[in-house]
Amino acid sequence: MFLGLDGERGCFVAVPEAAPKGGYRPGRANWSVMAGLGSGELAAYGTARALAAWHANHRFCPVCGHASRIAKGGWQRHCGSEDCGADHFPRVDPVAIMLIEHEGRALLGRGLNFPERRYSTLAGFIEPGENIEEAVAREVYEEAGVPVRDVAYIASQPWPFPASLMIGCHGLADSAEIVIDESEMADVRWFTREDVIEALTAREAGRDGEAFDAPPLTAVANWLMRWWVEKG
């Protein structure tokens, strides 16, 4: 499929015949590749990965079940049935990712599949019928039992695992009491600004932090933490 032009050079990505076993979850090799890419290259890589995964997972028309084919350079699939002929387009899944604070501390969590000391900002998919603010409040309350108010949008980032749009937000909590949803989270806790600064500094130096291990530099969660530290 056609990704676009880099100057006068056309850029393409090969579309796999089927999704790999286990899906398109990021592995250590992915993180190593992403860490060495510039912003333009990273955007191209993310686009290629997301679209390749979509094509591999949507080889058949969801309307009638007939085989579909690539159309418009890979930015569409067309049902091959004369009776159907439906067109389908790449999906993007909106995800709210939020840094919640209370009295100068940040609420961070460790998912069930996270490395032992890795903590990040909480996140979750936005559900049908929700706005961003409602999704932030619901996800934080579900995962940590913390009521949230004054939600504000900060920044966004496409995240190709497999095709999410991470919508970064900030919010305030009225209570520090935590009730962890153990079906989703291994741990959730409050960290001081000094803890977060130390973890971010260690990540930039390529080592693990003492308080916790911060998310990769390429992740919007890392950016949200840096934004929170800098705003004071």
CA–CA dist 77, 67 (Å, integer): 10
CA atoms within 13 A on the CB side of 198: 10
pTM of the entire predicted model: 0.87
DSSP line for 98-146: EEEEETTEEEEEEETTS-TTB-EEEEEEPPTT--HHHHHHHHHHHHH--
Q: Which two tokens stand for residue 208?
A: 């693990």
Antiparallel, parallel or unpaired: β 87-88 and 185-192: unpaired
Per-residue pLDDT of the chain (232 residues; tens, 9 = 90+): 898 888 899 999 888 777 766 666 666 677 777 777 777 788 888 888 888 888 988 999 999 999 999 999 999 999 999 999 999 999 899 999 999 999 999 999 999 988 889 999 999 999 999 999 999 999 999 999 999 999 999 999 988 777 899 999 999 999 999 999 999 999 999 999 999 999 999 999 989 899 999 998 888 999 999 999 998 7
| Residues 70 and 14: beta-carbon distance below 8 Å | no
Burial of 206 (0-12, 13-18, 19+ CB in 10 A): exposed
34: which DSSP letter? H
CA–CA dist 59, 70 (Å, integer): 9
Antiparallel, parallel or unpaired: β 68-71 and 76-79: antiparallel
Residue 56 CA, distance from chain mean position? 20
**Of 152, 159, 156, residue with least CA distance to 168:** 156
Tell me the β-bridge partners of 187: 110
| Residues 161 and 88: beta-carbon distance below 8 Å | no
